[in-house]
Chain A
C-alpha cells in the first residue's frame, strides 16, 4: 500500500506498507521533510508497525506517533497528523 500527503505550506510525506492479517507490516515513512535527529524516523515507522487497519482513525494514529517520539524531536514541514493522513490515504 502507498499513501501520500503534502502539508499545505510544508513537505510531502509518503507511507508504504503491506497489510498482513489486518495489520500494517513493513512500514516505510519517507519524504522531503526535515527531521532532527534523523534516527527518529525509525520511531515514527515503528509506531505504525502492527497497527490494526480496522481500529484506528487519523487522530489515534497521530497520537501513537506523538507518543513514540519523546523529547527533543523536531519535525519540520510535517507532523504526526500528516503521517496519519498518508496512512489513511494508503488504505482502501
Chain B
C-alpha cells in the first residue's frame, strides 16, 4: 500500500459494524449488461441465504449499456432508437434510482452485498452515506474533493461524480454505485431523456453540466483509482480475494434467460 493513504479514524461503532464480517472481493471478470443485472440478484440472494460471505464486487463491462432504475418508465427515460443505432443495450436493474450510461473502461461500478444487520437502525438516507464512506475516503486520498450528497450522490465542486442505489431484498442489502470515469456528457444527453423537472431544484440549466467524470478531475488511469478504492476498503474493513463460483455464474445465466434479458422485464414499466 502506498504511503499516501491516510485512513481517517472512523467512529468505532461504524468500524465495528463493518469489521463483524469477513469481506470478499470480486474483481476483474467482465460481463455483458444483462449478466451484470443477474449477478447482482444472484449474489444478493446468496449473501441473504448465508451461502456467500459479504462481498464487494467491481464490475467490468464487455459492452455499453443504459441501465434504468426499477421504477423508471422505459420510454420516458431512454431514446431507444438512438440506443439501437449506437449499439447500446438497455437493461433494467432491481434497484430504484435513475438511468445511467455505461461504457467499458469509462465508468467505475461496484456492488456491496451485505447482511441487513450492517445497516440496522439506520434510515435509508443514512445508510447510503455509510456504505460509500470508504469511497469518499479513497477519492479524497487521490486529491479529488469529493463528498456525499444525500440521498445517493457522490459529488464534487466540479459536478456530480456518481450515484448509488440500494435494495433491501432476499434477506440482504444490495448497494451499488456507478461513478463516471470518462463518460461523455454529450453522449449521456443523446441517449437519456433528462427532463427539466428533474433539474428544477438543482439550479443547473444544462443537463450536460451535471456530470464531472473522474478523468476530468484527475489524470490517473481508471485502474489506479479502483486499486486505491480496494486498498482503502481493505484497510478500513478487511478484504479477502474471492471468486465467482461456476454455479453462481450458471444461476445468473439462467436469470438472464428468464428475466433480465427479456422484454417483459425491461419494459415492465413501458
Contacting pair B73 A32 (CB below 8 A): no
> A76 contacts B125, CB within 8 Å?
yes
What CA separation (Å) do A6 and B200 show in the bound complex? 7
Q: Is the CB of B201 within 8 A of A74?
A: no
Tell me the residues in window 8-28 of chain A with beta carbons closer than 8 Å to chain B beta carbons.
8-12, 14, 16, 28
Contact indicator B76/A34 (Cβ below 8 Å): no
Mostly, the B contact residues are loop
A63 in the interface, Cβ–Cβ < 8 Å?
no
Contact of A16 among B73, B95, B96 (CB under 8 A): B73
Which residue from B95, B165, B198 sits with its C-beta under 8 Å from A12?
Answer: B198
The CA of A88 and the CA of B204, in the complex, are separated in Å by 25
CB contact under 8 A between A12 and B197, given known A32-B96, A34-B97, A76-B124: yes
A12 to chain B: which residues have CB within 8 Å? 98, 195, 197-198
Q: Is the contact region of chain A dominated by helix, strand, or loop, or is it mixed?
A: strand
Nearest CB on B from A36, distance (A): 5
Are A33 and B96 closer than 8 Å at their CB atoms?
A: yes
**Contact count band on A:** 20 to 34
Closest-by-CB residue of B relative to A86 is B197
Asked whether B201 lies within 8 Å of A34 as measured between CB atoms, the reply is no
Interface status of B130 (Cβ within 8 A of chain A): no
Chain A contacts for B94, CB-based, 8 A: 38
* B197 and A30 contacting across the interface, CB-CB below 8 Å: no
Task: Tell me if A50 is interfacial: C-beta within 8 Å of chain B.
Answer: no
In the complex, what residue of chain A is closest to B69 when comparing beta carbons? Answer: A32
Contact check, A76 vs B150: say whether CB atoms are below 8 A apart: no
Tell me whether A28 and B167 are in contact in the complex, defined as CB-CB below 8 angstroms, given that A4-B195, A6-B197 are known contacts: no
- The answer, among B72, B150, B152, B200, for a CB contact under 8 Å with A31, is B72
- Listed in ascending order, the chain A residues whose CB lies under 8 Å from chain B are 4-6, 8-12, 14, 16, 28-38, 41, 74, 76-77
Q: What residues make up the interface of B, taking CB atoms closer than 8 Å to A?
A: 69-73, 76, 94-99, 124-125, 150-152, 165-169, 195, 197-198, 200-201, 269-270
